[in-house]
Amino acid sequence: MLSDVAAEIGATSLSRSLQASTWMYPITESFHLLGIALLVGGAFIFDLRLLGVGRSLSLDSVANLNLMLSRRGFVLVVLTGLLLVIANPEEIILNRTFQIKMALILAALVNVGAYHWRERKGLGSWPKAHALLSLGLWTSVIFAGRFIAYT
Ligand code: HEM
């Protein structure tokens, strides 16, 4: 089932042209890394502020800048990540580490959503717990991304 989807993606003209090009893969992967820097950089600075680092800076100003960068980085990693999948669908989609990576990204997004939802509702969030979870989950996503090539 999943292998049929992968085969269909592999037969598209976009996939074929990505496969035929020497430079498209490394260029896309470089933009993927740039997106990761923005996403994880922004998220980590905000998480560290939640944990009490840089208390002299207001939480709002740290959030405004870093979460904006983080959201833009996320858009970039998703777009470039999809291109990387399309370039190599049969190897990537069926790869167990890639599947784990997708589950970790989902968990990280649920954690972000839960933090902001509880804040908005005034339910009293547990900022430090969300921050630690965020640091751990995004770090695990980076490890999973790097390990795809070796598993
Ligand atoms: C929907 C989102 C994403 C998709 C579809 C995706 C997909 C991919 C694919 C297909 C690769 C190439 C694997 C290979 O050929 O070795 C890759 C590499 C990688 N990804 Fe993602 N990715 C996504 C989001 C992320 C995020 C959010 C992070 C980190 C926070 C991340 C971190 C990495 C890393 C570190 C690599 C290895 C880069 C390298 O070896 O040069 N990815 N990703």
Verify whether ligand 1 is closer than 6 Å to residue 38 (CB atom).
no
For residues 118 and 126, give the distance between their C-alpha atoms in angstroms, rounded to a whole number: 9
The pLDDT of residue 32 is: 98
Please list the rounded mean pLDDT of every run of 10 residues in the chain (151 residues). 95 96 96 98 98 96 97 98 97 97 98 92 84 98 98 93
Residue 11, Cβ density class (10 Å: 0-12 exposed, 13-18 middle, ≥19 buried)? exposed
Q: Whose CA is nearest to atom 14 of ligand 1?
A: 149
* pTM to 2 decimal places: 0.95
94 CA → ligand 1 middle, Å: 15
103 CA → ligand 1 middle, Å: 13
The pLDDT of residue 120 is: 85
Pocket test for ligand 1, best of 25, 69, 84 (most atoms within 8 A of CB): 84
Neighbouring CB atoms inside 10 A of 131's CB total 22
Q: Nearest to residue 97, comparing CAs of 146, 62, 44?
A: 146
For residues 73 and 40, give the distance between their C-alpha atoms in angstroms, rounded to a whole number: 8
29 CA → ligand 1 middle, Å: 8
The pLDDT of residue 129 is: 95
**Amino acid of residue 103:** A
The pLDDT of residue 121 is: 85
The pLDDT of residue 130 is: 96
The pLDDT of residue 123 is: 78
For residues 29 and 84, give the distance between their C-alpha atoms in angstroms, rounded to a whole number: 7
For residues 35 and 32, give the distance between their C-alpha atoms in angstroms, rounded to a whole number: 5
